[in-house]
Chains A and B, each alone.
Chain A
Amino acid sequence: MKLFARYNRVNLVTNIVLMLITGFAYYQAISWVLTRQKDKDLQNEEMEILEYVKYNQELPQVFESKYLQIAFKIVPTSSVKRKFIDTLYYKKWGKDNPKRRIYHTDGDYEPGRGLVTAVIAGHQYYKVIIVESKVETEDLIRIIFLITAGVILLLLLLLLMTSRLILNRLWRPFYSIMHELKLFNIAEPTAIPKLDTVIDEFKEMNAVVSEMAAKAKHDYQTLKTFTENASHEFNTPIAIINSKLDSLLQTDAFNEKQGKLLDDLYEGVSRINRLNQSLLLLVKIENRLLQEMQRIDLKTLIEEMLIQFEEIYQDKELILRYQLHEKEIFANSYLIEILLSNLITNAIRHNYTGGEMILELSNESFSIRNTGESRALSGDEIFTRFHKSSGSEGSGLGLTICRQICENFDLSLTYNFDSPYHIFTVLFPA
């Protein structure tokens, strides 16, 4: 829910409730005032009747009037209590009113206000009912109701319009900052641009976000530089250990036990070295230092790679199947070679003896599927740094490097498990 939708909802409800209360109060007040007015009229009428009776000692003649009806009725003495009542007023329609024909009656009831009183004329006790039509009062109230409803509708409309306007205008800087944040890439050198706005809150937000982004980028850069320098510095000591091992190997005859130790040492150094080279490579890819692009004939490249790997997968007795169509991409050949070689290495390494490896290259994608562990790998974790499956002797950086390379060239790398195959797919940009 958008902030303004929320705000509007609350605002609208309060306004409507307020309007309804106001309408009700109006109704009560006007109704009260008008009823008082009617009551006064009725009192006047009563007074006139009483005066008339006082002087003439008989009941006045009753004329039919448009707004007033008076009725006299003989009742037992003192049985009438004077009071005002809300009653009905029977309104007679005019002789030529079309309603007479439609309803087959000569009139209709409308709300009325009455006064019940008594008069003694010629020793006779009469109950007097004076009724006046209240139809104008009802009309008035209806008008008030309509006006209130109209105002509520107008308010609603205005609120909707202003919120639209505000969303589009006032909140534009906010959305602009959001957009920048979404695009934010810590590895990119571009800074978050300064926003053109007069609103203090947004100005501040823009400043804070820019500062934060700049700091994050700076820290990241420092870290990368550190990694790069550290890796480079590692190269020399590794070179020394390596060369000393090579020299040691030339010295004397070793027994089997010493030979095994030497073997383990070589293996350890080799792993440090590969790890270090992988880290250096990652830094280079992230820094986009390998930017020489060229057309690469993927089919030929993959075929060459398969020849390179022949001894290795044959040694593991893997069954290789492949279907390669012509496909060219525009990228850095060194990195694409690493991408392919890492994927193929994984497919061999995490396979079992006598397993399968299937490669497919089409115009849309390159996929490599291999048998291996019988359950799926965790799709997100495998691409994180130093995530290793149990028993793997790899550096734990292979897939991280693959993903980074793919990101560099707008390729997407995904993992699926379709028992018994683990499938890695590189999707080419459309």
Chain B
Amino acid sequence: MKILIVEDEQALRESIEDYFTEAGNICETANDYASALTKTNLYRYDCILLDITLPGGNGINLLENLKKNNYPDGVLIISARNSLDDRLLGLDLGADDYLVKPFHLSELKSRVTAIIRRKSFNGSNLLKFNEISIDLAGKEVKVGKRLVKLTPKEYGLLLYFIANQEKVVSKNAIAEHLWGDRIDIADNFKFIYSHIKNTRKKLMEAGSKDYIQAAYGTGYKFSAK
């Protein structure tokens, strides 16, 4: 997939670029309004990560330009302002999602993956990872032909892992993804452990390989290797 990162903060831009650059992905970057405008007018991307406050202009205008020209690029707004108005404006103008800084890279990846998935698999809602196949519309998970019964949280966890496959995902990121940032429970991560344990057990009982690995007590990695 081809991604454009429009972000003026160099450190953040580089982190995102690093995280997204992997086999089969092309990442391009723009650090101000003008270069972003040029790039979006010249090339098409699967997803554009768009910061709202940019040197030389507003990300919202870029979004308007994309929509005016009927470019099909997916757009994910990343903003430092957690303002409901901004969010609504962005989504009204046709952005696919809205993420507020600060965020975990794994969360960003999972959102971008979801956008691209929606855009590219027109109608086909089947997500495959080796022997695991997921019907996104019916929220059904199968290992081979065997149905795996997952709770909504375990299902969310699996999708999150697959979107961030081969990456170490921190416990904090998982907690925030599953329970949202409104639920201030970061002082206790034990229940995450039990969720992961259950998911892993259910998948393996259905015949899947053991993909979920604990990483240094800090996080987990979903890996086929």
- Complex contacts, B18 vs chain A, CB 8 Å: 247, 250
Within A317-357, the residues touching B (CB, 8 Å) are 334, 337-338, 341-342, 345, 348-349
Q: Shortest Cβ distance from B38 into chain A, in angstroms?
A: 25
A270 B186 Cβ-Cβ under 8 A: yes
Q: Shortest Cβ distance from A103 into chain B, in angstroms?
A: 101
- A314→B191 CA distance, assembly (Å): 9
B172 A250 Cβ-Cβ under 8 A: no
**Best-surrounded residue of A245, A260, A349 (most CB of chain B within 10 A):** A245
A292 B84 Cβ-Cβ under 8 A: yes
**Chain A residue with the shortest CB-CB distance to B166:** A250
What number of residue pairs across chains A and B have CB atoms under 8 A from each other?
137
Flag whether B89 is at the interface (Cβ < 8 A).
no
A255 B216 Cβ-Cβ under 8 A: yes
Q: Shortest Cβ distance from A402 into chain B, in angstroms?
A: 12
Flag whether B36 is at the interface (Cβ < 8 A).
no
Tell whether A263 pairs with B102 under 8 Å between CB atoms, given A311-B153, A349-B187.
Answer: no
Flag whether A141 is at the interface (Cβ < 8 A).
no
Flag whether B122 is at the interface (Cβ < 8 A).
no
Flag whether B225 is at the interface (Cβ < 8 A).
no
- Using C-beta atoms within 8 Å of the partner chain, give the interface range for chain B: 35 or more
Flag whether A394 is at the interface (Cβ < 8 A).
yes
Flag whether B9 is at the interface (Cβ < 8 A).
yes
- Complex contacts, A316 vs chain B, CB 8 Å: 188
A232 B186 Cβ-Cβ under 8 A: no
Interface string of B161-202 (1 = CB under 8 A from A): 000000110111100000111111111101100110000000
Q: Shortest Cβ distance from B151 into chain A, in angstroms?
A: 9
- Complex contacts, A341 vs chain B, CB 8 Å: 182-184
Flag whether A418 is at the interface (Cβ < 8 A).
no
Flag whether B106 is at the interface (Cβ < 8 A).
yes
- Complex contacts, A290 vs chain B, CB 8 Å: 84
Choice from B15, B101, B173, B180 contacting A247 with Cβ under 8 Å:
B15
**Chain B residue with the shortest CB-CB distance to A257:** B216
- Using C-beta atoms within 8 Å of the partner chain, give the interface range for chain A: 35 or more
B170 A246 Cβ-Cβ under 8 A: yes
- Complex contacts, A235 vs chain B, CB 8 Å: 80, 100-102
A246 B106 Cβ-Cβ under 8 A: yes
- Complex contacts, A247 vs chain B, CB 8 Å: 15, 18-19, 105
A239 B105 Cβ-Cβ under 8 A: no
B186 A271 Cβ-Cβ under 8 A: yes
- Complex contacts, B185 vs chain A, CB 8 Å: 312, 345, 348-349
Can you list 6 residue pairs at the A/B interface with Cβ under 8 Å? Answer: A236-B12, A243-B12, A246-B173, A256-B217, A266-B171, A312-B188
Give the interface of B toward A (CB within 8 A). Answer: 9, 11-12, 15-16, 18-19, 80-84, 100-106, 153, 167-168, 170-173, 179-188, 190-191, 194-195, 215-219
Give the interface of A toward B (CB within 8 A). Answer: 232, 235-236, 238-247, 249-250, 253-256, 258-260, 262-263, 266-267, 269-271, 273-274, 277, 280, 289-290, 292, 308-309, 311-312, 314-316, 334, 337-338, 341-342, 345, 348-349, 393-395, 398
